[in-house]
Structure 1
Amino acid sequence: MFYFDKNDDRVLFQDIRSFETTLCDGRTFEVDPDIQADFTNMPYEDEHFSMVVFDPPHLLRNVGNSKFADIYGSLNEKATPKGYQHIKYGALYSDWRDMLSKGFNECFRVLMHGGFLIFKWNETDIKVSEVLKLTSEKPVFGHISGKRSNTHWICFMKK
C-alpha cells in the first residue's frame, strides 16, 4: 500500500481480496481491506468521496511454464493467481477493457463534483494510452515514475 498511515481515519481501503500468504521469498503478504468490495460495483452512494485513488490490477500474463512462472504465474480465465506479482497486484483477464471501464465509471460515480481521482497504472503489459481510452474523462496532469518509468500517476478532477 502506498499511504503513509494505514490507520488514518481519512483513508478507507477497499479491495475485493482479503488474505494473508507467504511469498516465494519468505515475506508475509497481507491484504486486509476496511471494505471488501469490487471496484466495478462499489457499495457507496453517489458523490460520497472528495478523493478516490484507483489502483487496479495491471498484469495480463500468460507465461506458461517459463522461468517467469514463479514471478508472474500462468493465467487463464479460471486459474488462481499463483506468481507473487499476481498475488500482490491482482490479475487482469480477457475482459480487462470492460472491467477497467466499469471501474472508471464507478470511481467517478462515487466522487464528488470538484473531487480528485488519482489513477495509478503500470505499463508492464498494457500501455496507459490504451487504458485512458476506457473513460471519457480527461486527466488534468500526470507523473511517470519507477525504475523503468513504467508507473503512471494520473490526476483527474470531476467537473
Structure 2
Amino acid sequence: MKTLVLDACCGSKMLWFDNDNPLTLFNDVRSLDTTLCDGRPLVIKPDTQEDFRNLSFADGVFKMVLFDPPHLNKVGDGAWMALKYGKLNDDWKSDLTKGFSECFRVLEDGGVLVFKWNEVQIKTKEVIQCSPYQPMFGHISGKRADTHWILFFKNSAMSKSASKHSEAA
C-alpha cells in the first residue's frame, strides 16, 4: 500500500487510533523506550528517524502531513514533559519556520497540512507567523482551551507571498 500521509513528529503516536496505520509514514527525530516517573511506559518508535527541519523526502510526495512539533521551550531536558513531548530549541521561531517549510515542501499541491499546537508557553498567533501559508480554519480544544487544531491547504491562493502580492495590487 502506498504511503500517503506523513506524521512529521510522531512521538509516541498519541493522536492515532491505529499506531500502525498503513497509509502513514511515522517520523520523529527521536527513538526512545523508557519509563516515565509515574511508571507509565513511553515508547517512541518511528518508521524513519529524521529532523522535521530537514526531511529527506522528495518534493510533493504526501497528500497529507500532520505537523505536531514540540511545544515546550522552558522545560528541563530530563523532565517527563520533555521526554513525552520533546523540547524546542531556544531559537524556536527558526526551527518552526524550517519545519513548516519542510512539511509544505513534501506536501503535494492541493494537499492538507494538519497542525496541532498547545500554547501553554508560546502563543499560537506567534507560531502561525512561521508558516508560509495562511491557515484555513481551526478548532480550540482542551480543558483550558490551550490546544489548537489548524488546517492548512497547500494552494497558491493560500500562500502568504501570494496574499502580499494581491494586497499590493
TM-score with structure 1 setting the length? 0.87
Structure 1 gap segments, 5+ residues each? 62-71, 74-80
Cα distance, 1:135 vs. partner? 1.7
Looking at structure 1, the residues matched to 132 and 26 of structure 2 have their Cα atoms a distance apart, in angstroms, of: 26
Structure 1 position 115 matched with structure 2 position 128? no
Q: Could you tell me which amino acid in structure 2 is paired with residue 129 of structure 1?
A: K
Q: Hey, what does 1:59 align to over in structure 2?
A: 72
Looking at structure 1, the residues matched to 59 and 49 of structure 2 have their Cα atoms a distance apart, in angstroms, of: 18
Structure 1 position 35 matched with structure 2 position 48? yes
Question: Does the residue aligned with 2:108 lie in a helix, a strand or coil?
Answer: strand
Question: Does the residue aligned with 2:57 lie in a helix, a strand or coil?
Answer: coil
Q: Hey, what does 1:65 align to over in structure 2?
A: none
Q: Could you tell me which amino acid in structure 1 is paired with residue 71 of structure 2?
A: H
Structure 1 position 132 matched with structure 2 position 145? no
> Aligned pair count?
142
Structure 2 gap segments, 5+ residues each? 1-13, 156-169
Q: Hey, what does 2:162 align to over in structure 1?
A: none
Q: Could you tell me which amino acid in structure 1 is paired with residue 59 of structure 2?
A: D
Structure 1 position 158 matched with structure 2 position 157? no
Q: Identity across aligned pairs (percent)?
A: 53
Deviation string 1:112-138 (CA, Å, 9 cap, x unpaired) is 011000000000100000001112310
More RCO (CA 8 Å, sep 6+): 1
Q: 2:101·2:132 contact (CA, 8 Å) conserved in 1?
A: no
Q: Could you tell me which amino acid in structure 2 is paired with residue 51 of structure 1?
A: M
After TM superposition, what 4+ stretches of structure 1 lie above 6 angstroms from structure 2? Answer: none
Looking at structure 2, the residues matched to 104 and 134 of structure 1 have their Cα atoms a distance apart, in angstroms, of: 7
Q: 2:28·2:48 contact (CA, 8 Å) conserved in 1?
A: yes
Looking at structure 2, the residues matched to 43 and 28 of structure 1 have their Cα atoms a distance apart, in angstroms, of: 30
Q: Hey, what does 1:20 align to over in structure 2?
A: 33
Structure 1 position 146 matched with structure 2 position 142? yes
